[in-house]
Structure 1
Amino acid sequence: MFEQSKKYFSYLFNPLDLLRTKKVLQVNPTVPAARTEPEEIKLFVYDFDAANVVTKELETVPECFGYLDTPRTTWMNVDGLRKADVEKICNHYGIHYLITEDILSIGQRPKMDEMDGIVFCLLNMLYFNEKDSSVEAEQISIVLGKNFVISFQEDAAKDVFNPLREKLKAAGSKVRQNKADFLFYSLIDMIVDNYFIVMEKLGEKIEGLEEDIVRNANTRSLSKINMLRKEMILLKRSVGPVRELVNGILRSDSELIDDRTEKYFKDVYDHIIQANDLAENYRDMMMNLHDLYLSNVNLKMNEVMKVMAVVTCLLAPATVIGGIFGMNFENMRWLHTNTTFIVAASSMVLIPLLMIRIFRKRGWF
């Protein structure tokens, strides 16, 4: 009995759920970053133009300094944020100190800044963990300068840029034919497009949960609803501000962004509006699921109460008859006749049967 109670209690109170809540909701940008620095970072450089592309994995940070003045477009991808190395790269490429702080921050709200001839944007790459049915976010910073783009990300194992790397290998691709601002757009566009993949996975989980609730709503269903609501909070917090980010790029007067590239950012803006609308729809679905769960629980309770009421009504005649003939009086008419027991027992059976027929005729059950 104790084990069964413990199992159901775990559905309602799960310490992992509390940790997830703390991770999703509690973010304080004034607290210094407490990130565990990696033992090493990985630097990948893609130096290209319309005719050629050179791909290198650099061993040390100073090796990347020579790409500042290259006539070709350079994309430098930094995997792993080690404070000393990030500061060296930022100092050499003329990236403002405040931008460097944002790159090294944790849980920063997606934003866009323009300082000292540099366009900077910070946003989250999202992934869906199938094992835990949770949304995982990785903060990524992208810096656009003259003829170069630098992307800083925390985890090399999680990346959505492989399609872009394939495009860089193709000589006729638009990325190769255009400048750094188009590469800047391509990185943001792939991050935004991946939002839809994550939301599609969440949508499948929501639809499956809806079917479970309709079939058999229980305390575990409530636990799943709460878990998915937390994932929706994380999704909304990551996707919502990106609209302002892209809008800021469109309103920017920076010379680094060509007028011909603006139409591509407008396309990203349309996508992020659609992603926001979809996130709102999913949030409404989660509220509806909660209402559906409560309705099903109340319906089950009503069914139980109806069955108990019917049983009570059916037993009432037998209780009354047994109570009358069971009274402790010496002189009771018909009490000591041969047919009294048969009549009483028959009445206890026939009256409930008649009541059942009347209840069915009225459609009560």
Structure 2
Amino acid sequence: MNDGSSLTTPPGLLPAGLMDLLPPQAEREAALIEALMEGFARYGYERVKPPLLEFEEGLLGGSGAAVAEQTFRLMDPVSQRMMGLRADTTPQVARIAATRLGQQTRPLRLCYAGQVLRVRGSELAPSRQLAQAGVELIGGAAPEADAEVALVAAEALARVGVTGITLDVTLPRMAQALLDAAGIEDALAQRLIRALDRKDAAAVTALAEGAGPVALLLPRLLAAAGPAGPALAVLRDAELPEAARAIAENAARIIEAIAARAPGLRITLDPVEFRGFRYHVGVAFTIFGPGQSGELAKGGRYLSANDEPATGMTLYPDAVLRAAPPAPPRPRCFLPLGTPAAAGAALREQGFATVAALAAEDAPGALRCTHVWDGANPVPLVQKG
């Protein structure tokens, strides 16, 4: 009887949610990330490179606590202390800003690119290893700071050919501010939160009735979700309590600043949406791509490692690749045996990848070449079929 102890993992089998990225997709992703990073650098964002692993208490402190359940943990054989593999890069950048760059003049503009690993994927995004590229503006509390990170992300996407995006603005603290002001008992408040999370307008209305005028604002604001202009008008006209009014006015200033600099950008507003990382304390952003390309970026306002005001945006290169127009592949020129080194160098200067024959039986077609050097020029290969 086989108890399973002799079973071996087939070569090439990877854990669920992990995958190899092969040519030419791996090269496309790398080129895309560098193009995004160049877009960030144009606005003064300087690159940092945090480690993949950190001690658990540092990685999961502050805003990192929001991703604790998604963090892989392991024992460091050197220090005998627990470490975590990052599930999100933003808390690491916040730590760097508060410690290594704690004495630098604010606001800090930092950017990053790298991989993160999560314990679980989702139904829509089952991958557990993700590429990220993002910007963090730390030490700036003005609405213009939030507007800047949204605009920098939108322009970076435009630079890689992604147009027709939509910037969705949400107010993660608005629903709770209204519930607190209404003085609703905890059991009813939790039922309202669940109904809001499901976007169940009928349930929200039914639960809010009899809970006072402030609670009745919830179904009204739920119905206001849509283009930013009309949604802001609903917020302006509503009799909001003081804390909720401050949230609405801050959102209005941010959206106005974005619209002034990018009048063609589609902006939507959902006043009572609160999904996403729990560390967001002001507006939160999601950038949706055209058609069915889904979420390209997420971000928003949070408190840095030492309660410093901060805001940022994380882009997801795998999703951006699906939305971006395919880049033309680099042409590959086959160099027969005996081709002078100078000829190959000249071709590489022209943008070709050169594939040198190593043996007489090497064939350009089998090596996926698009051209062959005839002794004077790169000649396109005729594709069969």
Same fold (TM over 0.5): no
Q: Based on CA coordinates, which of the two structures has the bigger radius of gyration? A: 1
- Which one has a larger percent strand, Structure 1 or Structure 2? 2
- Which one has a larger percent helix, Structure 1 or Structure 2? 1
**TM-score bucket (shorter structure):** under 0.3
- Larger RCO: 1 or 2 (CA < 8 Å, sep 6+): 2
